[in-house]
Amino acid sequence: MINKKICAVCLTTSPPMLATAAWKDGELFIAKSEKLPTHRNEIEQRLIPRIIELEGKGFEVLVAETSDFITSRAGHRVRLNDPAASGKPVLVEALDTLRELDRQKAITFPANTGTRFTIPETILDMDRDAKGNTIYRIDWAQLKSEHVLSILCCYATAFNNVSSVGYLKAMFGSGNNTPASEPSAPLCNIVKATERSAWLNGPSSPLTGKGNYL
């Protein structure tokens, strides 16, 4: 089991939000959450540099977004209806994890948020078709931003982005500042450079605020 720092970003519901969390010794601590700007160009200008900074610090950053507007340059895109490793939708797999952690009192939510991170039981209904296959009926309209953050954080506990600096450091046992003598140093440096280059050299247009055209 890999301890990890997690950042979850929800761009699929309103308002856009971000949360940071820690997965340590089998317990999930969602430390804090915050609202993000609502305008697309403001989200881009504020969020991409922040994701790159967090990834450089070893965070696993998962972003719920429909397109790859942000994740083509930073973070890892997660679509909740996509199949996870188990074959179940990501949302269903993450809910299984969340409920297990909740039963075992191994998950905490940000202070003073009441029940905003609590996902309603009615959000998911399961049935079987004539062949015995499980059908998942998800009430997407019930999903709030805080729910998505909870789901992403739970999904991140078992998700490993093998191209991320955080994963490489965890595998090679390197600290935040990887010494040049470490075996993982060249690989970490390549990944860091690639992440930064993706942001600096990403597509430009008047909508990005960079003042250039596509």
- Cα–Cα distance, 189 to 58 (Å, whole number): 13
Alpha helices in the chain (DSSP H): 40-56, 90-103, 145-156, 165-172, 185-200
> What does the pLDDT read at residue 21?
98
Assess if residue 35 is contained within a domain. Answer: yes
Structural domain including 89 reads 4-208
User: Which helix (H) or strand (E) is 199 found in, with range?
Assistant: helix 185-200
The verdict on residue 180 lying in a domain is yes
Q: Residue 126 has what pLDDT?
A: 87
* Token representation of residue 137: 């009926």
* Structural domains counted in the chain: 1
Tell me 184's DSSP state: T
Query: β-strands 107-108, 76-78: how paired?
Result: unpaired
Whether residue 56 lies inside any domain: the answer is yes
**Is 214 part of any domain?**
no
Res 141: pLDDT:
93
Q: Does 199 map to a domain?
A: yes
CATH number at residue 57: 3.30.420
Residue 213 belongs to a domain: no
Give the closest residue to 195 by CA, choosing from 73, 111, 98: 73
pLDDT of residue 104: 97
Q: Is residue 100 part of a domain?
A: yes
Residue among 206, 208, 211, 174 nearest 192 (CA): 174
pLDDT along the chain (214 residues), means of 10: 92 97 97 96 96 96 96 96 90 95 96 93 89 89 96 92 50 52 57 51 42 34
Other beta carbons less than 10 A from residue 126's beta carbon: 10
Domain assignment present for 203? yes
Per-residue pLDDT, 79 = 96
